Structures are given as structure tokens and as C-alpha cells.
Amino acid sequence: MSQSGTSKQPGGAQGDAGIGLVSFLTALGSGSVFFFLQLILFLSLRNHLDRIFKPKTYLTPTSERTLPPPKAFRHLIRELCRNDDRDFIKKCGLDAYFFLRYLKVLLAIFVPIACVTISVLVPLNYIGGRGREFNANQGATGQVTGLDTFAWGNVDSHDTNRYWAHLIVSVLCVLWVLFVFSMEMRVYVTMRQQFLTTKSHQSEVAASTVLVRSIPQEWLSEELLSDVFSVFPGGVKRVWLNRDLSPVMAKITLRDAIHQKLEAAETALIQAAKRMEMKRTEEAGRTKLTRSAHPTFRQITDSRPTAGGCNVLARSASRHAFESPWLPDCGRQDPKSSPFDHRRTALTLRIDDLAVQRSTDLGTAPSVPEARSPARQGRGVVLQTAVKAGNQVKKRAMTTNGFVPLPSLAEIPEYTESHGPEKPVTVAKHPIATLPKAVLLHDFDRDYSPGAGSWWRLWESPPRHSTPETARHANLSAGRLRGSRRNSFRYRSAYNDDCLTNWKRGLWKDFLRARSRPTFRLPLFGQRWLPGLPLLSKSVDTIEWCRKELCRLNGEIAEDRRHSEGFPLLDSAFVQFNEQTAAYMSCQSAVYCRPGYMTTSIIETSPKDVIWENIGIGYRESWVRAIAATGILALMISLWSVPVSWSGALSQVDSLIDTYDWLAFIRQLYLLRRFIQAIAGLLPAAMLATMLFLLPIFLDCLAMLKGVQTHSQKTQFIQKYYFIFLFIQVFLVVSIASFFTASVSQFASNVKSLERVANILDMLARNLPKAANYFYSYMLLQALSTSSATLLQVATLAEWYLLSPVFDATARQKWSRNTRLSPAKYGALFPVYTNFACISLIYCTISPLISIFAILTFGLFWIAQKYTALYVSKFDFDTGGKLYPRAINQTFTGLYTMELCVSGLFFTTRDANGRASCVPQGVIMLALLVFTMIFQMTLNKSFTALSNVLPTMLLRLHDSEDASSLPTSGGDFAPTKVRGSQREHAQTMMSALHSDSFVQPESLDQASFQHGALRRREPITWIPQDDLGIAEDEIRQTRELSSNIQIESYGAALDAMANVTYSRNPPDFSPYNDI
């Protein structure tokens, strides 16, 4: 958010002192152009590109799904301003709610401040002041010009008694902010307690589970830990002892990487063969490939006696461009069938095995029609699963990222005649791209096993993929064996050595040469982080190598899971209580008799929030890691001025060329000099923006180094240190040049000079007021450009239309791009707006006009961020609102800096006789500073405990409200109903996947806090089907090689241009992965 504003060099903000009206209007005009341009694009595209601008209306679980936004802009603003806190929390989480509440609180702070400061201080500063020319961009030395005529420094030396008004306004502003913050802490504690005591939250495993750390070795037993914690109400329900499964996690990480490489190589091979066949066909002057053994999609369709089936796809050309790719099973293949029958099964579906879901209620599960016997039916209908040939298909594949749903049966004349008329379904036209409407299809001959769930539950795996170890590991007790090392055993043979060379006799040889197969070079010395180099690294066939490695890794991982009891125990465990009361009581109690042992520091953590790589870090090691991470951060913040200064020197390359003789050759080459000047003008700003953009990523890695054990802790770590960095580098360094941009020796001397309070006050008073006008433009540009860019989803559009066609080659990559929503990273968002709040508070009395820009900034950001939270972003990890009190405490930094700066200004003010005339005001401000510090400490002492734990009285007496009773809408405005293709999408693909009636099985509840290495599913290689039989031949070769590797091709295919398309979820997809 703040990257664009950091192109100013250190101390460069002081150069904006005395900015005139023309310069200000120039900044306003440039920002307005970007704002209205992006806003017009957003309003033009938002009703057409659902996947970009409102994916949460159909690509999320029913409990998180929001109704589509109104089409009219005025109704959209009204909907965004509608207050329904409980429904918003239910769909977006506490972090999103308190983030938007923080922006509203800032508006509530600065609206009264703006009314007071502008009505009182602006007239006092301007009337009879030093400045004479408001529109002047430059003035004589000591002359106050431009917007500075409304600021603190314009008061004439003969009227220093006016500064009493500045003192009174400053005191009122500080007291108002303190009052608002105290009330907000009360609201935060109340809302968090109400949320944590609702029945819906209490029913979750995380609500009654705690992480116990630093357990003594003699207490590492399920029975002993159960006895220790059984003293709390309700007793212990379950104990999960943590084991050091890092070797297994390393194998799983390597397996996933090899699995993706294998999918890419197989897909590339199939595409290359198909394109070679197309090239041969084109060279031969034919339009079709006539192969009796392998008929194409078009040949099968053209063989129908009626013309209706041939033009199904052609008649369904006007469809939505961004339909949901969460598709039902379109038929499973029988591994016992012949290659040709196997391939034909994937391409054809009998009409008696099709179920068409026509429910009109969003989120209703599709009904199961009565199965008809094939004998009674008498005939079938062949449906084409690939897209139609030609440029139209290619265009559609580009805009939908390969998603190609099957056509509706209502569009097939034979089906309509045989089964009676169907009511037409209204489908919204799309002016940009076309996509056929998705229908729910199912083949009863290939149904799941009895008792495995309803047929429409897409996540159910076929029986042949289930592993007998799953149930055993789900109930495995980790505490049966407390070995210090793994049991030694030999892994079984991973694959059949006789089948290693089968790939050399594959069907691909009919179309490609051996050198056309995908190959790669092994990394140097077997280290994955080293690249493969020519002449030094061995070149291997990618498919052959990946198959063998996958077979080996899958076998070893399965064997490790069978012997998981042999891995050493860690000194931590998850303890689940029968009651939430007991979990919170254990966190507030001393469990062990020695300090630092058996601490229950983590509660309200979901299984997917746990970082298993760091779960084994002990109490002492965590302290060492924390010290190391803090030292790295301090070093980075202190030395950040070095690359900033270097980039500043780069911007002055023109003067360097004229100064140094060894650069004289550049002066003689006119074009070279112009090129260097152009680069020097863009490179510094680009470098600074890139460095700030990468900073949250670096902090994420640093949090892992610190050893955080949950994603919530990582988010809080990023919020804490990202704000420190932004406040120092974006505010102080930009404002105070001479202090931070000096050499190392000078910097040390400057730090030593700050030992006296008077020097600190003098430094702030001399530098900060000069930078006020820079922050006018900075906040204005941020408010206009960043808010509109957030609405337009510039990054998502670039990712969809630029990155996706280049990098998404496999069906899984396309599916992932279409279905995974951008996560909301509030750990990196909070510090940006907290820094804006601090800047606004610092200048609220020094330059009163800053309050107007603060209101504009936070108002536009609130609208943009609320739209994003409601319709675009999905929260993966929620801290339960813990970011909010830290943001409030960080905002106190702005109050302290304002009080110090105003105090310094009072002490340095001189009257016409050169005497210090405002010393009493300065003393009062210092007293106010001390009062603010005492107030913050008291506030934290009062609310910190209530923010982290729940009172036992509340847990016992609170009559929690069921989540089902929460209102789903508020106000008198009814948004536009879900209709057309979007409604059909949510019905056919998402209702079964995210049904609210879904109850987590007890077996999953028992395995909730099992180590991630024991719960990770084995991936299935997903390759596209083709009409040449290459995919079926690759599947046969893989299955002959070993049973340790799974490979399928149903649901994915090549279109007429050999582009990969898909029409269903990956075969190994399961929502249980996130439970």
C-alpha cells in the first residue's frame, strides 16, 4: 500500500516545504486521473467478470458465501454501508471485522479533529501571518509560502500568544483519541468474548484444545497427561503427543515437487504428440485424422443420426466466462477394461446414467434421480467433453483458464424428446467470452461403494484409491512408544524393475522422436537447491525419473506412517478437554512445579493453523531464535538507509557524469547518456518499491526462523515488525534527513547526541514541520490510486490474463488458479493504515489540513477493503481479532511523536524580542506525554488478560447463541438475487462440496491434531485425455511399473488446439485436507 509513496529519497520531504497551490493541484489531478480511470474500469467489468470481482458469491463454503452485490453503483455503496456485524463476522471472520472497524474508528477520530482544528487553528495561522503570497511556489529565505501559510510556522512572532490555542486543541485531540481507544478496547473484549462463547465456536475442536509445551520427558505419556489435566471441569477427552516427523515431512515436500514435475512432463508429452499429429494432418491436406482404432471426438459426434448432438456445443456458445471449476464426477474408469474401452468410457456417457440438477435455490444439494436400466433405455447419447475446434475454443480456453464444463442435456434434441420438455433456464449473456453451462453428471455404473456417502459428494475417493492404513493411523495412539530413535527397518521394493524400460515402447513413438521427450538435469551433488549444469549434471528422462522417485517416496512415506511410533517424541502435546471452560482454566493455572515447564500458551488454534515444522521447538530454543530474529531485524532497519542512499546517488547520475573524468566517455555519447538518465529516473523508485514489496515476504521467512508455531503467531509477528519498519523508514527517514542518511560514524554521533531530551525536541521541531506538505501529496495519492486499484483487482487481472496463459500448463495448475481465492493478509495490511494514522495524528495540530486528507484516505480505503472482504478475499487463518489491540497500541506511537514534536516547537518558539515565549505550553505538553504513557499502561493492564483468555464465570453462565440464529442480512435493502449461470454454478458444484449439513466424522475429529505428515493425502497424477491414446498408454505403463503411484485422466482432456482443459475437480481433491 505504501510502496508508491516511498520513492521520495531520505529527507526529500523537506524539499516540499512551501508547496504552492499549483503544485498541489498537479498532484491532485494526477491522482484523480488514476482514480477515475480505475474506478470506471471496475464499474464496467465487475458485473461481467464474476471470478475476478465476486468469487466469494459461489466459490466458497455456504457458511462463508455472500449474496452477489447489487448491479447499480448507488445500491452497491448502500449495501457496503449497511451494518450487520454478526453476519459479517460469520462470513469474513474477526480479523476482517476489526480491520474495517479500525478504519471506521480512525474516521470517528479525525472527523471531530478536522472540525476543530480547521475552524480554530487555520484562521489563527493564516490571518496576520508571515506568508504574503499563497500561490507562490518559492519564496525568499524565511518566507512562508504555499500551503505552509495554514500551518504552525505562519504565526507571526508578534502574536506568539496565539499558541495557547494550539495547546488547548492539542490537549483536546489527545484526550479524544484516548477516550475512543478506551471505549474500543471495551468493545473488542466484549465482542471477542461473545464470539468465543457461541455454540458454533464451542463445538469446534480448537475451542477446547490447548498446546502444552516443555513437557518433562518422564511425563510424555497419554495416560499421565490425562491424569494431570483431569482436575479441570469435564476432564480430558483426547491427547495427541507430538513426534519428530520432520524426515517424513521432508519426503512429502519432495514428493509433491516431483509429482508436479511429473504432471507437467506427461502433459507436455501428450500435447507434443497431439500437435505433431495435427501438423502431419495439415501437411497432408486433411482436416481430420481418420483412425479406425482411435476415433476423435468430432468423428464420434458426427456419427449420430441426428444433427442435434453435433451442434450441442455450438448452440451453447453464450455462457459466463468465469464459471466455477468445481465439477462433479463425469464418470470413472474401470482399470480392468481394455485401453480402447477405457478411453471410450472417458469420452462417452449414457443418457440413463445422467442426472441433471435443476434446483433454483442456491446451496441446495442436487437430488438423485431414479436409475434406469440400460436395457430399458435402449439408446445412449454421446457427449463431447473437449471444447469445439477453432479459434473460438482457443479464445474461450484463454479466458476461462482451461475450464470446459459439459453441455446441458436440455440442449440435446434426443434427450428432450425422450424425457419430456424441460423449462428453459435463463442464462446471463456475457459480452466478452463464451462458456457452456455446467450440469451435474454422474455414472451409476461407476458409483462409489455403499455407505461411502451420497453420489454427489465429489470429494469421496474411489474404492481402489483407499488405503487400509488410513483408519489405523486415524486412531493411532502416539504415546504407546517413547523411543528416542526410529525403529530400523528396510523399505520394500518400490517398483517392478522389469517394467522400467516400457516407456521406450510407448505409443508416443508413433508421433515423436526420443529427443522430443521432456528431460532435465539432476542438481549438482544431489542437493535440490543447486541447479543442474551442462557437462556437470546428468541429463535424465523426466517422466522415467519422476515415476521411479514417486514410487520410492510413496512407499517410504507409507512405511514411515506404519511405524510412526518409532519416531522420537517431542516435548509438546495437544490436549483436548471435554469443556471449553477446562481449556481456559488450564491456561490460567500453574500445571507443573518448576518454572518454564508444561506451559499452555497456545489456545484457540485450528489444526490447519499449526506449523508442524516448528512444533518441536522447545522453550529455550525459542528464546534463542527470538533473539536472533530480533537482531536481524534491528540490523536491517538500521542499515536500510544504505541502499536508500545508494539509490538516491543513482538518481544523481547526471552530476556524477559531469564530475568524474573516468566517466567522460559517456558525455561524448549522446544516446548513451540519455538512456542512462532515463534509467536513473525510474530505477531508484522501482528499487525502493520492490524492496518494500518484498519486505512482508522477508518477515514471513524471519517469523519461521523465530520458530512461530501457528500461522496466527506469524501474522502477529509480521504486523509488529512491519509497522516498526514503516514508521521508521516511510515517516522518520523521509522527514529527518540529516540524522539517518549520514555515514556510520556520523550516525553513531547523532545517536549519542540524543542523550539529552532537549536535543530530541530540537531535532523533531526543526525537521518534521518541513515535511508536512509532502505527506499531503503522499496520503492523497495513496487514497486515490491504491483504493481504486484495490477495487479493480489489478494484481488478479494481471495474474489471470498475463501469468496464467504462460505458466499454467497442466489441468491441476489451471484448476488451482481458478478455484483458489487470494487470501487476506491482515498482518501486512494493518501496519500500512496504522502508519497513516500516526502521520495524521502527528500533523493534526502542526498542519491542520492533514485531517482532511486523513478522512479522504480512510473513507476510500474503508469502501475498497470492505468490498474486497465481502466479495473477493478469503481468510485462511484468523487470529480471532488479536491484531486489533496491537494496532491500537501502535497508534499510540503517533500520539507520543506528536506530543514530543509540539513540545519541541513550543520550546523553540521565539517572540519579536528573541525570547522563548511558549515554555509553559511546552511543559504542559510534556506532562500530557507522561499522562498518555500512564494511560496506555493502565489500559493494557486492564484489558490484556481479558483479551487473551475468557473469564470462568462467563464460560459457566453465558447463554451462548447458536450460529444458526445469527441474522443473514440487515437493513431494508434486498440485493440482487442470484440467477443465471452463476446460480446454476453454485447449485451444481458447490452445494455438495460445502453443504452446511455436512458433519465432521468422529474419525476426523480424532485425527484433528495428528501430525500433518500422518494426514497428508497421497497425490494422484492427473493428465489430460487425448484421442490418440497416448494418455491411456502412459497410465498403463505407470500402473505396470508399481502400485505405489496413482495416475488418472478423467475430467481432463485436450481441445482441438491441443490446449489442456478440465471439467471436474482433481481426482485426489478432498475438503478433508483443510479439516
* H helix intervals, 46-162: 50-53, 73-81, 85-92, 94-126
Using an 8 Å Cβ cutoff, are 851 and 840 in contact? Answer: yes
Q: Are residues 1065 and 919 in the same domain?
A: no
Cell, residue 169: 486543541
CA distance 51 to 400: 9
Are 239 and 569 contacting, i.e. CB atoms less than 8 angstroms apart? no
Same domain, 187 and 267: no
Checking if the pLDDT of 225 tops 80, the result is: yes
Residues 157 and 37 in one domain: yes
Regarding whether 745 and 839 lie in a shared domain, the answer is yes
130: pLDDT strictly greater than 90 = no
Of 944, 965, 986, the domain-final residue: 965
The tens digit of pLDDT for each residue in 583-616 reads: 888 888 888 887 777 877 788 888 888 998 888 7
Q: Using DSSP, state whether 420 is helix, strand or coil.
A: coil
Torsion on CA atoms 984, 985, 989, 995, rounded to nearest 10: -70
| Helical ranges in 991-1067 per DSSP H | 1002-1006, 1012-1015, 1030-1041
Residue 75 lies in a domain: yes
- Shared-domain flag, residues 316 and 407: yes
- Other Cβ atoms less than 10 A from the Cβ of 897: the count is 20
Which pLDDT score, from 0 to 100, does residue 96 have?
A: 94
Q: Return the closest-CA partner of residue 411 out of 434, 433, 384.
A: 384
Which H helix or E strand runs over 391?
A: helix 391-400
Mean pLDDT within 189-200: 87
Residue 88 forms part of a structural domain: yes
Task: Decide if 435 contacts 405 (C-beta within 8 A).
Answer: yes
| Tens digit of each residue's pLDDT (9 = 90 or more) over 695-719 | 899 999 999 999 899 999 999 999 9
Task: Tell me the percentage of the chain whose pLDDT exceeds 70.
Answer: 65
Given pLDDT bands bounded at 50, 70 and 90, which one contains residue 867? very high
Query: How many domains does the chain contain in total?
Result: 2
Cell of 567: 519416531
**Does residue 1021 lie in a domain region?**
no
Collapsed DSSP state (helix, strand, coil) of residue 47: coil
d(CA 428, CA 444): 32
Dihedral, 247, 253, 256, 258 alpha carbons, nearest 10: -80
- In angstroms, the CA 164 to CA 171 distance is 11
Q: What is the spatial distance between Cα 51 and Cα 46, in angstroms, rounded to a whole number?
A: 9
Q: Is pLDDT above 50 for 785? A: yes
Residue-number span of the structural domain to which 281 is assigned: 261-377+388-447+1030-1074
What's the pLDDT tens digit per position in 660-701? Answer: 777 777 777 777 777 777 676 666 666 777 777 888 999 999
Cell numbers placing 830: 494493518
For residue 893, the surrounding DSSP H or E stretch is helix 883-908
Measured CA to CA, the distance from residue 436 to residue 439 in angstroms comes to 9
Q: Is the pLDDT of residue 22 over 80?
A: no
Of 905, 935, 910, 897, nearest in space to 921 by CA = 905
The cell for 170 is: 492539542
3-state secondary structure 528-553: CCCCCCCCCCCEEEHHHHHHHHHHHH
Is 807 strand, coil or helix? helix
Residue 1070 inside a domain? The answer is yes
Do residue 912 and residue 1040 come from a single domain? no
Q: Which residues contact 195 (CB under 8 A, 6 or more apart)?
A: 89, 94, 201, 880, 881
Q: Which of 255, 254, 224, 258 minimizes the C-alpha distance to 241? A: 224
HSE-CB at 148 with a 13 A cutoff on CA atoms is 29
Does residue 819 sit within a domain?
yes
Give the long-range contacts of residues 167-171, CB within 8 A, separation 24 or more. 167/906, 167/921, 167/924, 167/925, 169/116, 169/117, 169/120, 169/121, 169/845, 170/845, 170/898, 170/899, 170/902, 170/925, 170/928, 171/924, 171/928
Give the orientation angle of helix 542-562 with respect to helix 246-283, to 10 degrees. Answer: 150
| Average of per-residue pLDDT values in the chain | 73
Shared domain check, 195 and 265: no
* Residue 432 pLDDT: 30
pLDDT, tens digit, for every residue of 362-404? 333 333 333 333 333 333 333 343 434 344 434 444 456 667 6
User: Tens of pLDDT along 257-283?
Assistant: 999 999 999 999 999 999 999 998 888
Asked whether 854 and 912 are in contact (CB, 8 A), the reply is no
What integer pLDDT is reported at residue 347 of this predicted model? 33
My answer on whether 156 and 271 are in the same domain is no
565: three-class secondary structure by DSSP: helix
pLDDT computed for residue 671 by the predictor: 79
CB-CB contact of 523 with 532 (8 Å): yes
Q: Are 766 and 867 members of one domain?
A: yes
- CB contact burial 552-591 (16+ within 10 A = b; e otherwise): bbbbbbeebbeebbbbebbbbbbbbbbbbbbbbbbbeeeb
Of 405 and 457, the one with more pLDDT? 405
CA pair distance 404, 392, nearest whole angstrom: 13
379, burial (CB in 10 Å: exposed 0-12, middle 13-18, buried 19+): exposed
3-state secondary structure string across 679-713:
HHHHHHHHHHHHHHHHHHHHHHHHHHHHCCCEHHH
**How many whole angstroms separate alpha carbon 735 and alpha carbon 66?**
44
Q: To the nearest 5 percent, what fractions of the chain are helix, strand and coil?
A: 60, 5, 35
Residues 180 and 316 in one domain: no
The residue among 965, 980, 996 that closes a domain is 965
Task: Point out the domain boundary residue: 917, 938, 965.
Answer: 965
Cell numbers of 535, please?
A: 557437462
Task: Report if residue 481 sits inside a domain.
Answer: no
pLDDT of 255 higher than 50: yes
Q: For position 111, what pLDDT does the model report?
A: 96
780 with 928, same domain?
Answer: yes
Beta bridge partners of 241: 573
In a domain, 51, yes or no: yes
Lowest mean pLDDT among 7-21, 315-329, 791-805: 315-329
Structural domain includes residue 84: yes
Per-residue pLDDT tens digits for 443-467: 323 333 333 333 333 333 333 333 3
Q: Count how many residues are written for the chain.
A: 1075
Same domain, 288 and 194: no
